[in-house]
């Protein structure tokens, strides 16, 4: 979680240099959901992500240098510099893809789960979506199909309460969104998305159920993004959320909470955590230097990986 936080803060700080020429969607404040969802997974399990994908990519084991090179548009990027921030993947660790179109990754994960079942594997497919994606028709079509066929797929809703600038209570009636899954007969669960242990235990239960042939699950983790919808700045001045709401969520910082829990349990202390932060900062600085100095894709690469 700390590594993800420091990486995204470094992206925000360096974005003004105008060397990262793609949009960035940061998930500072949402780290516990990404890590808690990916922790119970094997490398063979497949994750499908959204436009806000940095944390998912790193939590699933993606390569930091390749991620930053991708954001810088370099040939060493995990998508060859073609996709930028919103197209991160590393199939060697099961990070299948990230897609910026809301809801479009849902049927892909469902299809992957169908293939897993047909091959007799006990792997699972996980699709991480935001709360806006539950308003897409394909969410319901995929969930219905998955339940009918008892597919090993887990639909994870990283509910940060906003579809860009429109809050959930302006878009949905007052009822738990887990009701949407229950209407399709799909098992559902909900937990505090800023509590790493709650996310991890809820996810582990769903993964175990899927591996044993119990079928799909829909999990909702409530969390909150600190930065603007797209970009490295704060945007509270736009008025779509109050300063008080923002401060309340910031007071529930998942990284700070995990740090406090580690110290209280005796699993870590101030000195060890400071050393860890220093080590991570050096790793991140080196990864940025790698990305900035890596070559751009050559003209000959323009016709590669193109299908028509």
Percent of the chain with pLDDT over 90: 97
Burial of 251 (0-12, 13-18, 19+ CB in 10 A): exposed
> 139, 84, 150: which is closest to 108 by C-alpha?
139
- Split at pLDDT 50, 70, 90, the class of 308 is low
Collapsed DSSP state (helix, strand, coil) of residue 252: coil
Do the beta carbons of residue 13 and residue 227 sit within 8 Å? no
Q: pLDDT (tens digit, 9 = 90+) per residue, 87-130?
A: 999 999 999 999 999 999 999 999 999 999 999 999 999 999 99
The DSSP output letter for 240 is: S
Q: pLDDT (tens digit, 9 = 90+) per residue, 25-57?
A: 999 999 999 999 999 999 999 999 999 999 999
Helices (H), 44-153: 54-59, 64-71, 105-119, 137-148
d(CA 261, CA 257): 6
Collapsed DSSP state (helix, strand, coil) of residue 52: coil
Q: In degrees, to the nearest 5, what angle opens at C-alpha 6 toward C-alphas 273 and 253?
A: 75
Polymer length in residues for the chain: 308
d(CA 276, CA 284): 12
Tokens of residue 305, six digits: 């990986």
Mean pLDDT calculated for residue range 228-251: 96
Q: pLDDT (tens digit, 9 = 90+) per residue, 191-210?
A: 999 999 999 999 999 999 99
d(CA 172, CA 233): 28
Phi-psi category of 255—alpha, beta or left, where left has phi over 0 and alpha has psi -120 to 50? alpha
Whole-angstrom distance between the N-terminal and C-terminal Cα of the chain? 40
Element (H, E) at 18: none
């Amino acid at each position: 979680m700390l590594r993800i936080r420091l990486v995204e803060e470094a992206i925000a700080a360096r974005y003004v240099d105008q060397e990262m020429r793609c949009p960035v969607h940061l998930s500072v404040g949402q780290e516990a959901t990404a890590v808690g969802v990916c922790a119970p997974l094997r490398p063979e399990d497949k994750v499908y992500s959204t436009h806000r994908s940095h944390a998912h990519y790193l939590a699933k084991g993606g390569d930091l240098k390749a991620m930053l090179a991708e954001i810088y548009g370099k040939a060493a990027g995990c998508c060859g510099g073609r996709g930028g921030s919103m197209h991160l993947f590393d199939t060697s660790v099961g990070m299948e893809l990230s897609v910026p179109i809301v809801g479009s990754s849902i049927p892909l994960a469902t299809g992957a789960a169908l293939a897993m079942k047909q091959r007799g594997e006990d792997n699972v497919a996980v699709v991480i979506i935001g709360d806006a994606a539950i308003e897409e028709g394909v969410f319901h079509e995929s969930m219905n199909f998955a339940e009918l066929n008892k597919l090993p797929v887990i639909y994870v809703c990283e509910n940060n309460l906003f579809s860009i600038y429109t809050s959930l209570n302006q878009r949905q009636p007052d009822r738990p969104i887990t009701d949407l899954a229950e209407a399709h007969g799909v098992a559902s669960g909900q937990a505090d998305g800023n509590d790493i242990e709650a996310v991890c235990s809820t996810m582990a239960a769903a993964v175990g159920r899927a591996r044993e042939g119990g079928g799909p699950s829909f999990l909702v983790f409530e969390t909150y993004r600190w930065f603007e919808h797209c970009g490295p700045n704060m945007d509270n001045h736009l008025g779509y959320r109050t300063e008080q709401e923002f401060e309340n969520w910031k007071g529930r910082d998942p990284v700070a909470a995990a740090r406090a829990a580690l110290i209280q349990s005796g699993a870590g202390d101030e000195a060890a955590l400071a050393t860890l932060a220093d080590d991570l900062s050096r790793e991140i600085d080196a990864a940025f230097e790698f990305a900035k100095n890596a070559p751009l894709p050559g003209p000959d690469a323009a016709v590669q990986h193109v299908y028509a």
